[in-house]
Copies of this chain bind each other. A is one copy, B any other.
């Protein structure tokens, strides 16, 4: 019975609801114990798998204890940042705290939400507050993870750059 349940879950692209499972099992008297087996599976999982309750029913997923291993299979090779992302990061690093319109002013083009999201996902930038001007724009700063990644003790260690600074 457990094998049958596992076979269904493992071959299914979507989560399976109790109703769906019932429609598969219920006219077969040999499968009477399926609900007890489902509950057991839900409680203890099976090997590297755990049964999770998600929208639309249950699905098997890999237990997080295998994350380190899975990362070796799935994580793609590091890629360079796009020029747009790099510029945005540079403006925030050197001009912080800085608003998005100010970043756009420095770069001369609009900054996509996607870029800001990407840098936030990395944990490199964060909103530190809001400027008290109309619209109260968010003020962006770099994080301690940013400093760690680039082996900087503090922002003061950012190399000084010469240029015509007139803002």
Interface residues of A (CB under 8 A from B): 2-4, 6-8, 10-12, 16, 20, 24, 46-49, 60, 62-63, 66, 69-70, 72-74
Whether B66 and A24, one on each chain, are in contact in the complex, defined by CB atoms closer than 8 angstroms, is no
Can you tell how many copies of this chain the complex includes? 2
Whether B24 and A62, one on each chain, are in contact in the complex, defined by CB atoms closer than 8 angstroms, is no
Whether B48 and A10, one on each chain, are in contact in the complex, defined by CB atoms closer than 8 angstroms, is yes
Cross-interface CB contact of A11 among B8, B20, B73, cutoff 8 Å: B73
Name 17 extra pairs, CB < 8 A, besides A3-B47, A24-B73.
A3-B48, A3-B66, A4-B48, A4-B66, A6-B49, A7-B63, A8-B69, A10-B10, A10-B48, A10-B49, A10-B62, A11-B70, A11-B74, A16-B73, A24-B72, A46-B47, A47-B47
Given A46-B47, A47-B46, check contact A73 B8 (CB 8 Å). yes
Whether A69 and B6, one on each chain, are in contact in the complex, defined by CB atoms closer than 8 angstroms, is no
What residues of chain B lie closer than 8 Å to A63, measured between beta carbons? Answer: 7
What residues of chain B lie closer than 8 Å to A12, measured between beta carbons? Answer: 73
What residues of chain B lie closer than 8 Å to A46, measured between beta carbons? Answer: 47
What residues of chain B lie closer than 8 Å to A7, measured between beta carbons? Answer: 48, 62-63, 66, 69-70
